[in-house]
Amino acid sequence: MSKRRDLTAAGKLEILQSYDRLPSMSKRRAAGKLNISHSTLANIIRERSTIELAALENENLNRKRKRSGKDKNVERALKEWFLEARENDFQINGRILMKKAEEIAVSMGVRDFKATDGWFCRWKKRENISLKNIGKQGDGIQEGANSWLRTTWLELLTYYSPEDVYIADEIILHFNSLPERPARNDEEAEEKTNDEQLTVLCCASMLGEKKKLLVVGKSELSHTDGDRTLPVDYAASDDGTLTSDIFNERLHHWDKRLSREILLLTDDCPSHKLTDTFRYIKIVFLPPSTTSLVQPCDHGIIRVIKAHYQRELGKIFLAVTDQGIKTGISPRTDSADGSIGLLDALHKVHNAWCNVSDQTISKCFRVNSSEPHDGTIVENSTEPAKEPFVKMEIHCDPSVTEEVTSSMIEHGESNTGIDSNVGSPSPPTSQEMLDALQVLRNGILHRTRDHEQLEVFEE
């Protein structure tokens, strides 16, 4: 007895198309020519309208069984809303769809409906929905990206080995703002946003080799700061953005140190305008309007940098919050007291870049293949940001560093095993311990020329 074989909707559609091409004959004879049973063919023909409708509505035809989600009426209404939004060229992301699903559930009187991440992923898979480049222009952009990948990209790979192929992209960082105190008005919001801006140019090879970061800010480094060895290259511009002069200077600096030809992929934008030629570096600009599909940095690298960066700052924020809860006094009273310094920002960006693994970078490059690209993010980071240029609000407090944990605070307060009544010094308070650690950290930050000493201290 032959083993039962479940057919996907795509398989059934293919059988229907093959059946239609056959000359007029009985279903039993046609089933024999198609190498399926008579009952299977009869069932497929009976379901013809459902199968063809699913294909027209772009449903996932690779599913063997069509299962509904937690509420089929909500899911059906959500898909209709999504298709209408796409037809009208609205740009919709996952969070908007999840929020809309919950609104639909409420309007339908569906109780206990929760649009979780897991449900949303399953719903997208069931309905064969991609959120990349939706709208009337999406298909053209997708085809343009696929065409570039199948032609230009494959041709470049015949001339350059993976270790000689690099990608460059930028991240915009904003800092000096407090998370717990939102802006009171638009003017304050703009002031907080423009207070400090850093542009970070990251560059890496297909094999994961990371080049030293180039960071561009508004402020010139002080004489003492400029004399020390920084973990990144730093330059200044009027608005804190990368200029073509700085970009070309960076390329010349790199070109002088090369002894082999390399390929550099980057976005075609004004800040990347070339003013000279280079001996060893060949620059290829990614096709316009498709960088979000073919730019490896947009497929996880920027996202992971942001995740590592915010994880470090999150440790500081949690320590500060814990201290405020214990003392009943918020350690942040003014924006100046809650801001991160430029040197701190440079070191933390460097640490975040170092924590991006070679494997992550290589995986992001694998998206650039000759296969049709669907904009899949390959990195498993839980960070929600997916924008090609991620803007990050950087929040921290100089009164505490990430190496301070709640266990250290509790140990300082308990003072177990020490009799304070026999002339020994009084135990320091939690705040005094935090202040002392920060003094040590600032001393290392401002006096040493070796940034590795600061990394050892923070570990």
For 172, the 3-state DSSP assignment is strand
Q: Range with the lowest mean pLDDT among 66-75, 108-117, 225-234, 408-417?
A: 408-417
What percentage of residues in the chain have a pLDDT greater than 70? 55
Q: Rounded to whole angstroms, how far apart are CA atoms 14 and 74? A: 31
96/240 same-domain check: no
Residue 211: which CATH number? Answer: 3.30.420
Residue 105: which CATH number? Answer: 1.10.10.60
Residues in the chain: 459
154/123 same-domain check: no
Residue 451: enclosing H or E segment and its boundaries?
A: helix 451-458
pLDDT band at residue 413 using 50, 70 and 90 as cut-offs: very low
Question: What mean pLDDT do residues 273-294 have?
Answer: 81
Identify whether 213 is part of a domain: yes
Identify whether 149 is part of a domain: yes
Identify whether 2 is part of a domain: no
Q: Given the structure tokens 């020390």, which residue do they identify?
A: 228
Identify whether 420 is part of a domain: no
218/123 same-domain check: no
Looking at residue 1, what is its pLDDT?
43
309 Cβ contact partners less than 8 Å away, ≥ 6 residues apart? 348, 349, 352, 392, 394
Q: Range with the lowest mean pLDDT among 3-17, 196-210, 219-233, 440-454?
A: 440-454
Looking at residue 386, what is its pLDDT?
34
DSSP character string of 105-152: HHHTT-TT----HHHHHHHHHHHT---TT-STTHHHHHHHHHHHIIII
pLDDT band at residue 216 using 50, 70 and 90 as cut-offs: very high
Instruction: Decide if 210 contacts 168 (C-beta within 8 A).
Output: no
117/145 same-domain check: no
41/18 same-domain check: yes
Q: Rounded to whole angstroms, how far apart are CA atoms 93 and 85? A: 11
Q: In the listed set 351, 379, 394, which residue is the last one of a domain according to the structure?
A: 394
Domain that holds residue 42: 9-56
157/29 same-domain check: no
Question: What mean pLDDT do residues 46-61 have?
Answer: 61
Looking at residue 401, what is its pLDDT?
30
Q: Range with the lowest mean pLDDT among 67-71, 232-236, 251-255, 363-367?
A: 67-71
165/294 same-domain check: yes
Per the structure, the count of domains in the chain is: 3
Looking at residue 228, what is its pLDDT?
62
98/213 same-domain check: no
Please provide the average confidence, as pLDDT, over all residues in the chain: 70
Per-residue pLDDT for 182 more than 50?
A: no
Instruction: Decide if 199 contacts 242 (C-beta within 8 A).
Output: yes
135 Cβ contact partners less than 8 Å away, ≥ 6 residues apart? 86, 89, 90, 91
115/178 same-domain check: no
Looking at residue 146, what is its pLDDT?
72
Per-residue pLDDT for 259 more than 90?
A: yes
Beta 196-205 vs 214-217: how paired, if at all? Answer: antiparallel
Per-residue pLDDT for 85 more than 50?
A: yes
387/258 same-domain check: yes
